[in-house]
A = this chain, B = another copy of it.
Amino acid sequence: MDRRTFIKASTVLTASQSISATAQQHDDAAAAHMRMMNTLPPDAPKIAMLIYPQMVAMDLVGPLTIFNVARFDTRLVWKSTSPVMTVEGLPFAARHSFDDCPSDIDVLFVPGGTMGTIECMNDPVVLRFLAERGAKAKWVTSVCTGGLVLGAAGLLVGYDATAHWAVADLLPLMGARHVDQRVVRDRNRMTGGGVTAGIDFALALVADMRAGEAARRAALTVEYAPAPPVQSGTPQQAGPARTAAMRQSRAWMDEQARRAAEQAGRRLGTA
């Protein structure tokens, strides 16, 4: 081999070694990244999150996103692992059936929805599961109309709580005291208002179960510095005319919720 051929060959060799070393480093870095993304800390809180037909997707996904960023161990649960259809037409599937859900969960969480929520309030199988797991969980939590389901399961008797503004006045029928705040905490109950309150709720829970620092990191990850383009998120902000029109448009559904709450109250001896 002459000098020129040697140099050329060695250059190719070096280059290919270098490419291979770079690829190896890339693979190592990729693997490390994936490990970091996919491995939960051993003390990650276990959260059982109920899903059900005709739930509001964001009631689940807001908190799920925050809990995922905070490296909590999130488990979607329902009667079966067959997909359920959300209000938005996006199917969700549970990873655990009720029977298969660990009994030592740290947090029980119930999202809200439309008619599916009311069916849960009337469904003994759902209510029994929630009452059993809720009795043992460190935290019993909800967002939106999910608070009514906790109430129907008897989990809010004697507690301060909230729910979506349109139905929060039904909570007292099931023994709770309605407190008109976006997130209400009373001992180990934490309940949020309608839909988007789930983000504030989840950050508050992360701050409590971990530390304020974990919540601040999560907020930075999801760029949570809200800037609503309209100021109309509460009946107070929206004003009486708009609120009355909205109540009117959902009157039939809210009446079904009232009946379910009254029925639950009779079972619980609170209505």
Would B199 and A226 count as touching, CB distance under 8 A? yes
Would B90 and A76 count as touching, CB distance under 8 A? yes
C-alpha gap A76/B234 in the complex (Å) = 30
Residue from B36, B221, B225, B227 within 8 A of A246 (CB atoms)? B221
Would B196 and A220 count as touching, CB distance under 8 A? no
C-alpha gap A56/B68 in the complex (Å) = 10
Would B203 and A220 count as touching, CB distance under 8 A? no
Would A30 and B227 count as touching, CB distance under 8 A? no
| A2, CB-defined interface residue at 8 Å | no
Most B-side CB within 10 Å, residue of A57, A195, A223: A223
| A127, CB-defined interface residue at 8 Å | no
> Which residues of the partner chain B approach A131 to less than 8 Å between Cβ atoms?
none
Would A219 and B195 count as touching, CB distance under 8 A? no
Q: Which residues of A contact B (CB under 8 A)?
A: 29-30, 32-33, 36-37, 56-58, 61-62, 64-65, 68, 74, 76, 87-93, 95, 114-115, 144, 164-165, 182-183, 193-197, 199-200, 203-204, 207, 212, 215-217, 219-235, 237-238, 242-243, 245-246, 249, 252-253
